[in-house]
C-alpha cells in the first residue's frame, strides 16, 4: 500500500559502514539513504511503504526494543535528526524526543543481495546484521536533509584479478583491497565500508566530452563525484564529415534561404554558460573548381529577431585526389557569436575543427561534436574493465573522471591484514608497484554500475 504523505519529506543517509533497517511486510530489508515520508499512522516510510525501524523513546529513555518508529501528530518540517540518529521536534517551544534510528552492519556487506537499486537483503555469505545505534562507533553517523543524500543509496562492487589490489587512503596511510563494496559519502567521495577513500589517477581536461582522455598518471587522488553537472559553454566544434565528390556544383550563389544554392547542410546545438541552447547550422557548397568546397554557418538564437541573424563564411576546403583535406587551416574560427541577454556570457568565438572532413565518392555522412552542455543530473557511474571511471549524466554527457590505479606486489603472500580485513604492505611483500588495468602486466577489473 502506498503511504499517505503529510507535509514535507525526510531526507536521510548514513556516513560510514551502517545500513538503515526497514520492515517490508515482515521482511527485513536494508538501505543506506533515501527520501522518506510520514504515513497516515505516523510511521516513517519509503515511497513504497517500507517502515523505518529504531528504538522508541519511552518513559524518558530510549527503549532497547527494536520496532517500527512512529511519530504521531508531528509536522515533518519540524523534525530534526542529529548525527546519532536521535529524532526530536520542537513545537510550541517544547522539545520532544521521539526515538533513535537503528543501524546494522555486516561481516561481509559485499555479499548482501541487492533486490532493487539501493535495497538489500541479508544472505548466508553476508552474515546476520549486527544491530546498534550510531554511538557504537563502527556503524557511522547520519546526514539529514542534505541534497546529496540520495546518492549515498548507491553501491558499487569491484574486484581485481591476478593478485592485483585497489588502492585506498586510510587517513595518511595506504591500504589495499582485492575486492570491495563502495559507496558515495555525502561529500561525493567514493568510499569503502570503513570510510576509506578510493584513489586513482585524475582526468585533467574535459573528460570524454572531448573524446580525448588526458589522464594525469603522476598523481594519485581521491575520486570525488558530483550529483549534478553544471552547464558548460561551447567553444569548439569538431566536424567528422564526408562530402560526396559525385555531387554537382551548386547552380547559384550561396543563400541559406535557398536549398538549391548549397549541396548539404547539418545542424548541431551550441550552449551558453547557463546551459541554454542555440542552433548552429553548417552549409557545404561544391564549387566549380575541382576538389574545392565552401563552408558557411548560421547561428540562430530562437529568441532573436531576423535582422540580427549571424551568418559566417565562406571558408574554403581543398582536398587532394585521395580526398584528404589539404587546406592551409585545419581549424577555423567563427565570428564573435552574441546570444540572447539572459545573464549568460556571450558564446563568442567558436573554433571549428575541419581536419577530419573528407571527400569521397561515398554518400554524405556527418558526426558533429561540440564541447558544451546544459545542466545534468547524475545517472550512472561505471568502472570499465581497464579502470576508466565514467559518469553518465541526464544531459547525455559521459564524463571521464579518471582511471583507477592498481597495485601489485612481488610477494603478495607477505601482505598482512589489518583489523578491517584490508591489506598492508610489509618487507616480506615488497613495496607496491602501481599501474593500471590492461597494462603493466595487470589484468582486468570486474564490477557493476552505480545508478
Residue ranges per domain, the chain? 10-144, 154-229+376-450, 236-370
pLDDT computed for residue 135 by the predictor: 63
Classify the phi-psi angles of 109: left when phi > 0, otherwise alpha if psi is within -120 to 50, otherwise beta: alpha
pLDDT band with cut points at 50, 70 and 90 for residue 174? very high
Distance separating alpha carbons of residues 335 and 349, to the nearest angstrom: 6
Among the listed residues 75, 90, 54, the one whose alpha carbon sits nearest the alpha carbon of residue 7: 75
Residue with the bigger pLDDT between 301 and 349: it is: 349
Helix (H, G, I), strand (E, B) or coil at 414: helix
Average pLDDT over residues 243-267: 94
Question: Does 364 or 188 have the greater pLDDT score?
Answer: 364
In the numeric block, which cell numbers belong to residue 232? Answer: 558548460
Question: In the prediction, which pLDDT does 391 show?
Answer: 86
Report helix, strand or coil for 150.
Answer: helix
- Among the residue ranges 222-236, 264-278, 293-307, 422-436, the one predicted with the least confidence is 293-307
Structural element, H or E, at residue 90: strand 86-91
Q: Which band of pLDDT confidence, cut at 50, 70 and 90, is reported for residue 121?
A: very high
Q: Are 416 and 437 in contact (CB under 8 A)?
A: no
Single out the residue of 266, 213, 261, 221 nearest to residue 239, CA to CA. Answer: 266
**Backbone angle region of 76, left / alpha / beta, with phi > 0 → left and psi within -120 to 50 → alpha:** alpha
The grid cell for 196 is 576509506
What mean pLDDT comes out for the span 51-74?
88
**C-alpha R_g of the chain:** 29
With bands split at pLDDT 50, 70 and 90, how would you rate the model's confidence at 256?
very high
Q: Domain 236-370: which topology?
A: Tick-borne Encephalitis virus Glycoprotein; domain 1 (2.60.98)
49 within 8 A of 79, measured Cβ to Cβ: no
Q: Omega of the bond prior to 108 within 30 degrees of 0, cis?
A: no
When pLDDT is averaged across residues 151-157 and rounded to a whole number, the result is 55
**Residue, of 267 and 42, whose pLDDT is higher:** 267
pLDDT tens, position by position, 32-45: 877 888 888 889 89
For residue 242, pLDDT over 90 is answered with yes
| CA distances for 152 relative to 70, 228, 278, 298, angstroms | 24, 14, 35, 45
What separation, in Å, do the N-terminal and C-terminal C-alpha atoms of the chain show?
25
Residues of the chain above pLDDT 70, percent: 85
> Is pLDDT at 269 greater than 70 in this prediction?
yes
For residues 315-320, average pLDDT: 97
Q: Shortest CA distance to 215 belongs to which of 439, 2, 423, 401?
A: 401
pLDDT at 410: 92
The CA-atom distances, in angstroms, between 363 and each of 14, 283, 334 are: 56, 16, 27
pLDDT of the residue at 374? 93
pLDDT of residue 344: 78
What DSSP line would sit under 193-252, residue for residue?
A: TT-PEEEEEEB-S-GGGTT---B-TT--EE-B--SEE--B---EEEEEEEEETTSPPPSS
Amino acid at each position: 500500500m502506498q503511504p499517505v504523505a503529510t507535509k514535507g519529506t525526510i531526507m536521510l543517509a548514513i556516513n560510514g559502514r551502517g545500513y538503515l533497517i526497514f520492515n517490508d511486510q515482515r521482511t527485513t530489508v536494508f538501505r543506506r539513504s533515501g527520501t522518506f515520508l510520514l504515513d497516515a499512522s505516523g510511521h516513517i516510510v519509503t515511497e513504497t511503504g517500507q517502515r523505518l525501524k529504531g528504538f522508541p523513546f519511552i518513559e524518558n529513555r530510549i527503549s532497547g526494543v527494536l520496532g517500527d518508529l512512529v511519530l504521531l501528530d508531528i509536522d515533518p518540517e519540524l523534525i530534526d535528526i542529529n548525527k546519532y540518529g536521535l529524532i526530536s521536534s520542537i513545537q510550541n517551544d517544547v522539545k520532544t524526543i521521539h526515538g533513535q534510528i537503528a543501524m546494522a552492519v555486516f561481516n561481509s556487506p559485499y555479499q548482501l543481495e541487492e533486490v532493487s537499486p539501493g535495497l538489500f537483503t541479508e544472505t548466508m555469505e553476508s552474515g546476520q546484521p549486527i544491530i546498534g545505534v550510531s554511538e557504537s562507533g563502527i556503524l557511522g553517523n547520519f546526514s539529514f536533509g542534505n541534497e546529496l543524500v540520495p546518492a549515498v543509496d548507491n553501491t558499487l562492487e569491484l574486484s581485481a584479478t591476478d593478485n592485483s589490489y585497489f588502492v585506498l587512503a586510510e587517513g595518511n596511510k595506504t591500504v589495499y583491497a582485492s575486492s570491495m563494496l563502495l559507496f558515495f559519502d555525502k561529500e561525493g567521495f567514493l568510499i569503502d565500508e570503513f570510510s576509506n577513500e578510493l584513489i586513482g589517477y585524475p582526468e585533467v581536461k574535459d573528460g570524454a566530452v572531448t573524446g580525448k582522455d588526458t589522464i594525469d598518471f603522476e598523481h594519485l587522488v581521491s575520486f570525488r563525484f558530483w550529483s549534478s553537472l553544471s552547464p558548460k559553454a561551447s567553444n569548439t566544434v569538431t566536424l567528422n564529415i564526408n562530402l560526396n565528390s559525385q555531387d554537382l556544383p551548386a547552380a547559384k550563389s550561396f543563400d541559406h534561404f535557398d536549398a538549391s544554392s548549397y549541396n548539404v547542410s547539418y545542424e548541431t546545438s551550441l550552449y551558453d554558460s547557463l546551459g541554454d541552447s542555440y542552433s548552429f547550422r553548417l552549409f557545404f557548397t561544391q564549387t566549380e573548381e575541382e576538389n574545392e568546397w565552401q563552408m558557411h554557418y548560421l547561428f540562430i538564437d530562437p529568441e532573436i529577431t531576423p535582422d540580427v541573424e549571424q551568418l559566417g563564411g565562406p571558408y574554403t576546403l581543398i582536398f587532394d585526389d585521395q580526398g584528404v583535406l589539404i587546406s592551409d587551416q585545419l581549424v577555423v574560427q567563427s565570428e564573435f557569436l552574441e546570444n540572447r541577454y539572459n545573464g549568460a556570457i556571450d558564446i563568442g568565438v567558436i573554433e571549428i575543427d575541419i581536419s577530419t572532413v573528407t571527400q569521397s565518392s561515398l554518400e554524405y555522412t556527418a558526426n558533429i561534436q561540440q564541447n558544451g552542455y546544459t545542466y545534468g543530473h547524475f545517472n550512472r557511474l561505471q568502472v570499465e574493465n581497464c579502470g576508466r571511471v565514467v559518469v553518465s549524466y541526464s544531459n547525455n554527457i559521459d564524463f571521464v573522471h579518471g582511471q583507477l590505479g592498481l597495485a601489485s606486489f612481488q610477494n603478495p603472500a607477505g601482505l598482512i591484514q589489518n583489523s578491517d580485513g584490508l591489506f598492508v604492505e610489509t618487507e616480506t611483500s615488497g613495496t607496491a608497484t602501481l599501474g593500471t588495468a590492461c597494462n603493466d602486466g595487470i589484468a582486468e577489473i570486474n564490477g557493476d554500475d552505480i545508478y
